[in-house]
Structure 1
């Protein structure tokens, strides 16, 4: 990986690490699906007019609107409404084990003992996090599981369409996801308009960070990295985001760092790291065979 790619990857995980705290601030005032719709409305307004997909690309972006827009972001915001930022930062890392499972199902990739152990550790850690007495509600934890799975699926879909400009994906996925989220909010939430009208300046500043920092800058850099490099080269950097997220949740929001979080987080991140180290080893071995 080139130095420029490394710096971009680090910038992304720093933005995402603080993103959990920022979303938690905003979602405490505005219902999660309504907030997600607002996020995408602003992103679409800022990006979509300048980057337009071809007719052949439109179907893939529409699929991402469901998987990434509603499935990942919508569920992430719901999860953050019902649990703390530190737990969310750890639970969302299950996207990497889910990526392994998807590779096995979609591409007939062999799991092997090492990755099986990694999966077992990661999901055991998630089980401990879910079992914390003062942890999130069952609905919030289920939403985070769905969000992690949809993140893994979205990475596979984006990798298949590396011909689409990252900002085209960001802008038009946001535009197409917005009406879906508005409809979902109308069905499942109440008091959205009143909450938006009475939201504090802090909530609007948090939304601005999410729109510009996370949605546009970070995802633009992330999609570029995924398009140029292998998923396994890029995804390991996401391990830094939960460490920043947990630290920010404890120091900025005053969240408690319990034994459940310590052990559950260590198991989850340990399992994810084991998977990524093993896959890096397989890549090096495969490259050596090709060179020979």
Structure 2
């Protein structure tokens, strides 16, 4: 990767770590699905241009928006509401091996023994973290996060194989689809939307703006732009920065103290993902 693109690839995981941490206290005011419908609506307002021409197949945009947008957000942020932010950020790292596996299954990457070992070790680390919940609620939250990362990984494989648009254009089109899907799910499954709108403080609305503009508009515009030019196994491992930043933020601002076992699970995830990164580059390269 070019140095400029390496620098760009560092930004999304940093923004996501901040977004996940901010989302935790914000969901005390907003129901999770309703919050994400607002975030995707703001993202659509910022990025969607109905008059622009798009080359990515419509079916791919719908599939990516549903899997990597509404379902992923519904599952992950519902899970975040039930677990500490540190635990959530560590478990979200399962998205990297899932993305590599999904891209391999779709035919964009070639699996080899070392990469497969790295994926296996990463998932073992996730299993270690998931096996540490202190309550049934935490276990349910962690399982929701893992299912959400699986949806996200499949979406990355679809995007890598089919995307022909800029990252911002693709994210805008996906947000137009994901926002009403999430709102419909919220109206069916949640209550208190109107109360949240009227009772939200200025801090809550500022957090929503940071979540939308930083964690979605900026982060995904950069991320999907990189996926047009680089393999999934080149881009996805930059998410390794999320646990480092996320645990630090949760410690500094939410006063969360990660246990030794949680940290052990996080280190195991990082070791496995390091093997994925260092695996021989035998994958096919697709130019955009």
What TM-score does the superposition give when structure 1 sets the normalisation length? 0.89
How far off is 1:53 after superposition? 4.8
1:58 aligns with 2:58: yes
Does the aligned pair in 2 maintain the 1:170–1:220 contact within 8 Å?
Answer: yes
Q: Distance in 2 between matches of 1:13 and 1:104?
A: 22
Give the aligned CA root-mean-square deviation in angstroms: 2.3
- Which residue is equivalent to 2:211? 210
User: CA-to-partner distance for each residue in 1:71-107, whole Å, 9 max, x for gaps?
Assistant: 2222221111111111111111111221333244333
Change in CA separation of 1:99 and 1:56 when aligned onto 2, cut-off 3 Å: closer
- Which residue is equivalent to 1:3? 3
Change in CA separation of 1:9 and 1:100 when aligned onto 2, cut-off 3 Å: closer
How far off is 1:133 after superposition? 4.0
Change in CA separation of 1:108 and 1:38 when aligned onto 2, cut-off 3 Å: closer
How far off is 1:56 after superposition? 6.5
Q: Distance in 1 between matches of 2:194 and 2:248?
A: 33
User: CA-to-partner distance for each residue in 1:216-273, whole Å, 9 max, x for gaps?
Assistant: 1111111111112222221121111221011111221111210221111111221122
Change in CA separation of 1:182 and 1:226 when aligned onto 2, cut-off 3 Å: same
- Which residue is equivalent to 1:290? none
Q: Counterparts in 2 of 1:17-32, with a 5 A limit? A: 17-32=17-32
Greater shift in the superposed pair: 161-170 or 216-225: 161-170
- Which residue is equivalent to 1:282? 281
Q: Counterparts in 2 of 1:126-205, with a 5 A limit? A: 126-134=126-134, 137-205=138-206
Change in CA separation of 1:229 and 1:172 when aligned onto 2, cut-off 3 Å: same
Q: Counterparts in 2 of 1:216-227, with a 5 A limit? A: 216-227=217-228
How far off is 1:111 after superposition? 4.5
User: CA-to-partner distance for each residue in 1:10-29, whole Å, 9 max, x for gaps?
Assistant: 22222122122111122222
- Which residue is equivalent to 2:246? 245
The secondary structure found in structure 1 opposite 2:57 is: helix
User: CA-to-partner distance for each residue in 1:44-90, whole Å, 9 max, x for gaps?
Assistant: 12221366454873322111221111222222211111111111111
Does the aligned pair in 2 maintain the 1:53–1:168 contact within 8 Å?
Answer: no
**Structure 1 unaligned spans of 5+:** 288-292
Change in CA separation of 1:253 and 1:193 when aligned onto 2, cut-off 3 Å: same
Does the aligned pair in 1 maintain the 2:55–2:164 contact within 8 Å?
Answer: no
Q: Distance in 2 between matches of 1:102 and 1:93?
A: 15
Does the aligned pair in 2 maintain the 1:57–1:164 contact within 8 Å?
Answer: no
**Structure 2 unaligned spans of 5+:** none
Q: Distance in 2 between matches of 1:51 and 1:170?
A: 15
1:71 aligns with 2:74: no
What TM-score does the superposition give when structure 2 sets the normalisation length? 0.90
Change in CA separation of 1:252 and 1:276 when aligned onto 2, cut-off 3 Å: same
Q: Distance in 1 between matches of 2:116 and 2:222?
A: 31
Change in CA separation of 1:122 and 1:72 when aligned onto 2, cut-off 3 Å: same
- Which residue is equivalent to 2:49? 49
Q: Distance in 2 between matches of 1:270 and 1:66?
A: 31
Higher helix share: 1
- Which residue is equivalent to 1:107? 107
